[in-house]
């Protein structure tokens, strides 16, 4: 049974108890009235608790999807020559940005202190030119 179905069932139960209480008021049975009121309160509490559970499950589902995406991305990457490479992309990515923030930032060919290499436009990481054997 999923959460939405549970909410529907609880709503029906709460409405039924309310109708029962209204019928019971006409009969003036105080003991039955108290029992129905307690049942109604209990069902309302369960409904509120289930709303919290539903919210927590939605957050967990979102986190799971994010982690699955990160894992898939990690499986498609390769570390070589101080650079990150993504399957199907020959241009290198910054290993610092990837490891720190899980961001794929392409490195740019640049010159630093008269040496050719690759620099990151985001974090400033620089690695010297090497043969790119991937």
Q: Where are the domains of the chain?
A: 3-73, 76-128
Q: 88-129 pLDDT, tens per residue?
A: 888 899 999 988 988 889 999 877 667 788 899 999 898 877
Rounded distance between C-alpha atoms, residue 100 and residue 72, angstroms: 17
Confidence of residue 133 (pLDDT cuts 50, 70, 90): very low
């Amino acid at each position: 049974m999923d959460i939405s179905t549970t909410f529907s069932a609880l709503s029906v139960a709460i409405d039924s108890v309310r109708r029962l209480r209204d019928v019971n008021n006409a009969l003036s049975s105080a003991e039955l009235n108290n029992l129905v009121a307690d049942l109604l309160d209990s069902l309302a509490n369960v409904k509120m608790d289930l709303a919290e559970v539903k919210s927590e499950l939605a957050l967990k589902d979102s986190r799971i999807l994010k982690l699955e995406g990160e894992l898939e991305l990690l499986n498609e990457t390769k570390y070589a020559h101080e650079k990150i490479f993504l399957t199907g992309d020959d241009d290198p990515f910054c290993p610092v940005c990837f490891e720190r923030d899980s961001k794929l930032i392409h490195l740019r060919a640049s010159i630093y202190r008269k040496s050719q290499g690759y620099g990151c436009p985001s974090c400033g990481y620089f690695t010297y030119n090497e043969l790119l054997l991937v």
